[in-house]
Amino acid sequence: MHNSAQKHIHILGVCGTFMGSLAQLAKDLGYRVTGSDTNVYPPMSTQLEQAGIELMQGFDPAHLQPTPDLVVIGNAMSRGNPAIEYVLNQGIAYTSGPQWLRDHVLQGKWVLAVAGTHGKTTTSSMLTWILEYAGMAPGYLIGGVTNNFPTSARLGSTPFFVVEADEYDSAFFDKRSKFVHYNARTVILNNLEFDHADIFPDLAAIQKQFHHLVRTIPNNGLIISPGNDKAIAEVIATGCWTPQQQFSIAPHATIGTETADDKSTSEWQAQLITADGSEFIVLHEGKKIAQINWQQTGLHNVNNGLAAMIAARHVGVTPEVSAQALAQFAGVKRRMECLAEVHSVKVYDDFAHHPTAIKTTLAGLRAKVGSEKIIAIIEPRSNTMRMGVHKDALNQSCTDADDVLWYQPANADWAMDEVVNKSPVPAKLLRDLDELIHCAISLCETNTHIVIMSNGGFGGVHQKLIAQLKKHAL
């Protein structure tokens, strides 16, 4: 890493959360960093420009003249892209994002990795915040913007490094999951379900990648997982060389229509004090060792917090200190983030990309607001949802809402009429954003909660809806 000041790195696909975070780490290490992407726009473009990273629009081979020392290629890039063809034809040195992270940032670090289908960003953010609160000044790379930190990545000043460990593939030339590159020692496997249908044919294919991750964890490491996740248990059964600790929610806890009836005797348990999960007791081998009172709600967040606490304990943070830290955890942008309250109507933004995420989020809100009205506005935008893989589960994911407005994007590969026709709660299918906003406002009454769920920008519907609400008196 010496003389890196002279080294020039160019990043293809620099505006994705992961690659943008990588760019900032490279800059902090003293490299000259440039990058290109098709969508150079805020907030990532602003964050990168403020960090002194030169951005270019599109994938013109001219961006690679004079030749950089290394090109880091994002996993969204494929053969046929003019910049990729130029790199290959000219014999320019290239690598994947995860491999670059391993070689230049993670060597010699104690890596704490958070993997699983849901809750990675939130749990990584909680864990990073606990370590920061405990004075451990960790480095981190998180796939989202957390309200406790100004950026999505930093090098840190101690050996501890928290990484959100994604099972998505690494690059067009490396189809292994990103997380096999990370040299992780403390690993959280939050949960495991079928997702990413664009790259995985079935759950077994994802489990195989998780098995590869488990194979890389040293025996002085730790694997932290839920006590009742069958898919993770199957992964562990194929071979594990590392001690494990399991967590669960004490039996018969119910939130909304979601029940955690876990018969397992996990070493770590959360015992709910309030039905919405905003207060709970932490038990270790049956003994109370901490109590948490925080801003988060929902069973999924209780699990996320518990997992983060166990991981922090592995690097020496006591559960008491973790509980104090979690009381000050300010959440993650786009995870049930309350954007505005207008005439007693609250508007939330949520990143939900999978039926289970939709279900747990709505269940947490229902437990918090009692009988007040909940309207869910959902754009099934992730690759998997767009392909219609989850359409049967989508219906059941909304049982805690009073009304559901589905938005059918123009590029969906399947018609959503079936989801609406079979809906257990009143539902409507809309193809026009203005009509969608009008419909949402007509359903509002005093004390209504509108949750907008999408993993994209959703045509700016959030701000348009808030602006329209301000014009209407309920």
Whether residue 265 contacts residue 246, with contact meaning beta carbons closer than 8 Å, is answered with: no
Task: Tell me the pLDDT tens digit for each residue of 270-320.
Answer: 999 988 889 999 999 999 999 999 988 888 899 999 999 999 999 999 999
Residue 382 lies in a domain: yes
Residues 6+ apart with CB under 8 A from 371: none
The reported pLDDT for the residue numbered 197 is: 60
* pLDDT of 253: 45
The residue from 307, 327, 347 where one domain ends is 327
Amino acid at the residue 86:
Y
Regions in the chain scoring below 70 on pLDDT: 1-5, 145, 194-199, 252-264, 332-335, 352-353, 381-392, 412-413, 473-474
**Do residue 79 and residue 184 come from a single domain?**
no
DSSP string computed for 168-216: SEEETTEEEEGGGGS-EEEEEE-------TTT-SSHHHHHHHHHHHHHT
User: On the CB side of 22, how many CA atoms lie within 13 Å of its CA?
Assistant: 29
User: Do 266 and 393 have their domain in common?
Assistant: no
Structure tokens at 134: 């405990």
Q: What is the pLDDT of residues 79-96, one digit of tens each?
A: 999 999 999 999 999 999
**Per-residue pLDDT, 4:** 52
* CATH at residue 175: 3.40.1190.10
Cα 265 to chain centroid distance, Å, stands at 28
Q: Residues 160, 238: one domain?
A: yes
Residues 161 and 302 in one domain: yes
How far is C-alpha 94 from the geometric centre of its chain's CA atoms? 27
Could you give the count of Cα atoms lying within 13 Å of 354 in the half-sphere of its Cβ? 14
- In degrees and rounded to multiples of 5, residue 140 shows phi and psi of -160, 155
Residues 305 and 394 in one domain: no
Question: Measured between alpha carbons, how far is 230 from 449 in angstroms, rounded to an integer?
Answer: 34
Instruction: Tell whether 116 and 81 lie within a shared domain.
Output: no
Q: What angle do CA 147, 148, 149 make, to 5 degrees?
A: 95
Whether 102 maps to a domain, the answer reads: no
Q: How far apart are CA 221 and CA 60, in angstroms?
A: 44
Using DSSP, state whether 369 is helix, strand or coil. helix
Q: Does residue 311 sit in the same domain as residue 182?
A: yes
- For residue 332, tell me if it sits in a domain: no
Do 180 and 246 reside in the same domain of the chain? yes
Peptide bond into 61 cis (omega under 30): no
Q: Report the alpha-carbon distance of residue 430 to residue 293 in Å, rounded.
A: 40
- Both 289 and 369 in a single domain? no
Residue that terminates a domain, selected from 327, 353, 370: 327
Q: Provide the CA 203 distance to its chain's centre, in angstroms.
A: 19
The last residue of a domain, from among 294, 327, 360? 327
- Concatenating the DSSP letter of every residue in 85-116 gives HHHHHHT--EEEHHHHHIIIIITT-EEEEEES
In angstroms, rounded to a whole number, what is the distance separating the alpha carbons of residues 100 and 83?
19
For the chain, the domain total comes to 3
Residue-number span of the structural domain to which 117 is assigned: 108-327
218 CB neighbour count, 10 Å cutoff: 11
Task: Kindly state whether residues 301 and 188 are assigned to the same domain.
Answer: yes
Q: Are residues 126 and 74 in the same domain?
A: no
Q: 357 and 313, same structural domain?
A: no
- 213 inside domain: yes
Please name which of 190, 269, 184 lies closest in space to residue 224, comparing C-alpha atoms: 190
Cβ pair 12, 71 in contact under 8 A: yes
Q: What number of other Cβ atoms are within 10 A of residue 316's Cβ?
A: 11
HEC secondary structure over 383-428: HHHHCCCCHHHHHHCCCCCCEEEEECCCCCCCCCHHHHHCCCCCEE
CATH number at residue 66: 3.40.50.720
Q: How many other CB atoms are there within 10 angstroms of residue 360's CB atom?
A: 24
The domain that contains 381 carries what CATH number?
3.90.190.20
pLDDT at position 251 is 75
* Structure-block tokens of residue 123: 């749990």
Q: Considering the domain boundaries, does residue 101 fall inside one? A: no
Dig out the tokens for 130 from the structure: 């606990």
